[in-house]
Amino acid sequence: MKFNLFLLLIATLLVVGSSQQNVYNIQDFTTKKYWAINKTSKTPQVGLVTNKGQAETWKITTAADGKSYISPNSDIKLLVTYKKDGEPLALESTTGKASEWKLVNTHTSDLVAIQSFANPNDYANVGGFFGNSVVSSANNQDTHWKLEQIHLKRLKLELDNY
């Protein structure tokens, strides 16, 4: 019994301590719209929805060098990818600078600006037709995103049932 409890404790610490991947709802602070997947074009893009129930959850993996990779939790092979200034952010299965992001802390601790590593002057912003897309905009770090963490309930349920 003691050994099983010890193994459970070690497994819990490993899961919690080693996790550099976090799952979030991403919401625009001003419009209150959430990131979603827009599949109406040839290449899926990052869109915005007002209903949280239609929002996608996003996995953000941050490397030791500060580069972050953002992927839809429903398909982690896809990465949020910078195309060019003014265009919607695409979801592609390619890696490289275009898929690398920097989460820049703002004056409010729970808000971030999302900066492109490919083009450091470009940030993720609300744009597109009726403001329903996430686009890259030059020199505009004024859009602040709220990262609402999704707590993993499975581990809690396992601990409660032990």
Angle, alpha carbons 128-91-46 (nearest 5°): 30
Q: Is residue 9 assigned to a domain?
A: no
Cβ atoms of 108 and 144 within 8 Å: the answer is yes
Q: Which residue has the tokens 């897309």?
A: 133
Question: Per the domain annotation, does 157 fall within a domain?
Answer: yes
Q: How far apart are CA 114 and CA 141, in angstroms?
A: 8
Across 138-146, average pLDDT: 77
Confidence of residue 124 (pLDDT cuts 50, 70, 90): very high
87 part of a folded domain: yes
Structure tokens at 135: 């686009």
Rounded Cα gap, residues 102 and 107, in angstroms: 16
Model confidence, pTM? 0.78
5 part of a folded domain: no
Quote the domain boundaries for residue 131: 20-161
- The dihedral through the CA atoms of 77, 94, 35, 15 has a sign that is positive
pLDDT tens by residue, 49-97: 999 999 999 999 999 999 999 999 999 999 999 988 888 999 999 889 9
Collapsing DSSP to helix, strand or coil, 93 comes out as coil
Across 4-16, average pLDDT: 47
pLDDT band at 134 (very low <50, low <70, confident <90, very high): confident
pLDDT at residue 128, as a whole number: 72
User: Which CATH number is 75's domain given?
Assistant: 2.80.10.50
Q: How far apart are CA 29 and CA 133, in angstroms?
A: 15
Domain presence at residue 3: no
Domain for residue 8, yes or no? no
- Does residue 115 contact residue 122 with C-beta atoms inside 8 Å? yes
The CA distance from 128 to 52, in Å, is 20
> How many domains are there within the chain?
1
